[in-house]
Amino acid sequence: MSILLTIISVIAALIILLLLIAMFIKKEYTIEREISINQPVQQVFNYIKYLKNQDSYSVWNQLDPAMQKTYTGTDGTVGFTYAWDSTNKQAGKGEQQITSIKEGERIDMALHFIKPFEGRSVAWMSTTPAAGNQSKVQWGINGKMNYPMNIMLLFMNMENMIGKDLSGGLANLKKILEK
């Protein structure tokens, strides 16, 4: 009986310790990646402002070619919503809505993840002129994990996990636009 009580006490102490640690660690993360594309800014922006085009370059959109997609509104305008539902747990279920557009420069989007985990994030893509006729494209995501789930940020390398997918998507975008 005392061994069982000791085991329960150790487990309880570990849980309390993790909850205390979670109170003091960050709750937000921001991941950004960029790439140069050999095309003028307006041409690049005119492509990325349409969320349906993400099917051609986003690593996440390519996880499940059979995922169900629904669209509400006019693509490339504020308020347009793209929703997806997949049986692939990596793709999950969620929606993305254009929240603002600064023509030729930046598009902001709200992300709502429903499955496999509930969550909200903000994403953006921006274009700026680079040397010659090139464009610098930046893609970023800002998210938040509320207490006590933020303890997972100690064990998950969000920079690598999300950053790898952003870089892959930007590389795909570059291939498409430089053809």
Q: Give the pLDDT confidence of 14-37 residue by residue, as tens digits.
A: 988 888 887 888 888 899 999 999
Query: What pLDDT score was predicted for residue 117?
Result: 82
Domain limits, the chain: 27-177
**How does DSSP assign 44-106, residue by residue?**
HHHHHT-GGGHHHH-TTTTS-TT-EEEEES-TTSTT-EEEEE-SSTTT-EEEEEEEEEETTTE
Instruction: State the CATH architecture for 27-177.
Output: 2-Layer Sandwich (3.30)
pTM of this structure: 0.84
Give the pLDDT mean for 93-117: 96
pLDDT at 92 over 90: yes
